[in-house]
Amino acid sequence: MKCVNLLPHSLRKRWEWQRQLMTWGVVWCLTAALLWLLVGVWQEQLDAKNRSVTLEETQVSAIAQATTRISELQRQAGLDRGLVENAQWLELTEVPLGLFQTIIECCQRQGRGIQLDSLRIDELGNTTLQDGQVQPARKQIVIAGLADSDPRATSLVHHLQDSQLFESVELLSIQGAGGAGQHRTFSIRCQQKSLLPSTPTPIKP
């Protein structure tokens, strides 16, 4: 038996259009949802990359600041090291002054019986810088003058020895006419100790 569709053609056509519209509507909705999902995933990945880039830029900036700070500290350390070295070198100038002061005090203890005519200072070796510390060269002082007697000159030698600033004190020569009232010319060599106290050692009374 053959079935016959009694619905009007216009109605069947309208229903077909409605069916196709529904089908395509579902397809477009699924496509839009899929695109929205893909865009969301892509946006999340992009945000993650941006956060990673921002974090790396922050780290690079921190490293650059640290490098700059290290350079400044190194420069300041160099300046401070130079100041310390200069201060140590300046301190060396106090050593001869301390020795001279000791010699003068020893001469003053002799009253008017000793007169200094010349004083020469030499270095026994070279001044060096080791491990940031100045190693001064030992000093040798040769003094010459007049004494009213031999005991005056030898007494000066004993006082210089008692000062404990010198490793050795040697009476090099003593000369004169030998007559009464005649002064004696003398020469004394003093060699500084390897380690000097920071201040002159008081002379024993």
User: Which pLDDT score is estimated for 138?
Assistant: 78
CB atoms closer than 10 angstroms to residue 33: 10
d(CA 95, CA 88): 11
Write the CB contacts of 108 (distance below 8 Å, at least 6 apart in sequence): none
Half-sphere exposure of 95 (CA within 13 A, CB side): 26
Please tell me whether residue 30 adopts helix, strand or coil conformation: helix
Look-up: residue for tokens 């380690």?
195
User: Which pLDDT score is estimated for 188?
Assistant: 93
pLDDT tens for the chain, 205 residues: list them: 555 556 666 777 777 788 888 888 888 888 888 889 888 888 888 888 888 888 888 888 888 888 888 888 887 777 666 655 554 544 445 556 777 888 888 888 877 788 888 888 887 776 666 665 656 677 888 989 888 888 888 888 999 998 888 888 999 998 875 555 678 899 999 988 875 444 444 444 4
Look-up: residue for tokens 């100041």?
83
DSSP string, 163-176: TS-EEEEEEEEEE-
User: Which pLDDT score is estimated for 201?
Assistant: 43
- Exposed (0-12), middle (13-18) or buried (19+): which is 106, by Cβ within 10 Å? buried
Kindly state the helix (H) or strand (E) to which residue 130 belongs, with its residue range. Answer: strand 128-130
Instruction: Give Cα separations from 112 to 116, 146, 172, 200 (angstroms).
Output: 11, 10, 22, 23
Output the pTM of the full model.
0.46
d(CA 79, CA 85): 10
For domain 94-192, the CATH class is alpha beta
Instruction: Give Cα separations from 115 to 6, 35, 67, 162 (angstroms).
Output: 155, 111, 65, 20
Q: Where are the domains of the chain?
A: 10-92, 94-192
Assigned token pair, 158: 């004993």
